[in-house]
Amino acid sequence: MTTHVLNDTSVMLGRSMRHITRSLDTIVTVTITPIALFLLFRYVLGGAIQTGGGNYTNYLMPGILLIAIASGISYTAFRLFNDLQGGIFERFHSMPIARSSVLWGHVLTSLVSNAISVVVIILVGLVMGFRSSAGVLAWLAVAGILGLFTLALTWLAVIPGLTASTPDGASAFAYPLIFLPFVSSAFVPTESMPGPVRAFAENQPVTAIVNTIRALLDQQPVGNEIWAALGWCVGILVVAYVCAMAVYRRKIA
């Protein structure tokens, strides 16, 4: 049974990845906005922002990566919506395949495409002066956190992908997620913010994730931030997965 599910999922992954490779403009579009923000904050606003010293490009990198992922998962919702409206789901469900494999194909495609975007942005960051003294284990930890964050947001994206009534509605849910890093420690220290804004910034998931990645890349102690980051990612992932599967079962019932 497990082998059957894995085989079906690999087929669905291959199908979704072919769509990505045939329209590479999707990945280009996803990376343009984060790179533009990278350039804006580094070369236009960076001189006026005080972060306590250090390389501001290094300071920016974690937040830019999260914005790229938040932008990328909107395409998962869009692709799901198109498949649902085009009757592809009904065709697949008429075949002897594991029904969950259809969703997992889209989810794993999101992981791969967002990983490509992350690599592109890191390469651009290196040109802009990004440097890290992190070792292999620290980089693996960063990759793990980013992967978990991508999984959590992707399963969140599945819900509007299955329930939206228009393509714009399917992808628009990502806008608040893209905005969250701006009210966090991604671009400026939270200490510089007014009281209520600071309280929100310090108690939302992006700040814990950004601080953890930044500490790992700078080879600094992560403290309790890593547990907060993992807690947010796992919590969002579990809730989103349960809700998405419930919606999916209602759709295919």
pTM exceeds 0.75: yes
For 50, the token pair is 């005080």
What is d(CA 251, CA 182) in angstroms, rounded to the nearest whole number?
Answer: 35
Is the pLDDT assigned to residue 81 strictly greater than 70?
A: yes
Is the pLDDT assigned to residue 66 strictly greater than 80?
A: yes
pLDDT > 90 in the chain, percent: 32
- Sequence-distant (6+) residues with CB within 8 A of 84 are 161, 162, 251
Is the pLDDT assigned to residue 246 strictly greater than 50?
A: yes
* Cβ atoms within 10 Å, residue 121: 22
Q: What angle do CA 216, 177, 227 make, to 5 degrees?
A: 35
pLDDT tier, 1 (very low <50, low <70, confident <90, very high otherwise): very low
Convert the pLDDT of each residue in 35-45 to its tens digit: 888 888 888 77
pLDDT at 24: 60
Element at 27 (helix H, strand E): helix 25-39
Mean predicted confidence (pLDDT) in 67-80: 84
Mean predicted confidence (pLDDT) in 96-124: 81
